[in-house]
Structure 1
Amino acid sequence: MPNEEIYGVDYSSNGGVSSTGDILCVEGLENAKQAIRNALVTPLGSYPSVDDEYGSEIYTLQGEDLTSNQLQALTVHIQNGLLKEERVKEIQNIELKLEPGGLKAYLHVLLVNDAEEEMTLDMEDLYG
């Protein structure tokens, strides 16, 4: 089964447009990664008329000092968000690192077609 059938097609959320002014689309694996990222960075309950369970709770810790307890709680929020995503079969690793550019979450997941994907979630807007 082609990745487009498994992971779908959607508009690009990076704001890109084609030379004719059309909104760009992403498909297959890139759409899966975009959907996962969008769900994680969207505050839970942002779209109650569509799906009140869409999003994650990573924003609940915004503005908090990054103690080891806060980092553990953030890891749990990311994990919970990933578990809700239908394209994710298994979470293999979540690693949070405070780097010069801000906090980053490194995610290693197994997707539903057994594709292993590594993603980086830049969290500097939340914890920069």
Structure 2
Amino acid sequence: MNGKNVIGIAQTGTGKTLAFGIPMIEKVVKNKGQGLILVPTRELAIQVGNSIREVGKLWNLHCSIIIGGVSQKRQIVSLKNNPDIIIATPGRLADLINQGKFKLNKINVLTLDEAEECLMKDFYLK
């Protein structure tokens, strides 16, 4: 993707997660930063997280899933361990940023998965 912004549109089950996940992993490995994948729902975060973790094993990457509805304590500990890739819902991520528990300064690649869904549901970082 050569550092360009990309908008990808495809039907469910066509491999979008790997289409953005593998280039993200490669960039994170090369540049030693972090990748952030924002998704609109907890369920999608878990699904994407499982896929990225499976592929990330090939590079020995650490991933964190940051979602609402579960204890923040484990998520904060996971973030303190400097994960290579973070998969998060906007609400929980905003909470942790506002609490000073997470900073975006190490993020060097960002993916908005199902961005249209986020926009339709009025998700945004305050």
TM-score (norm 1): 0.29
Which has more strand, going by share of residues? 1
Which has more helix, going by share of residues? 2
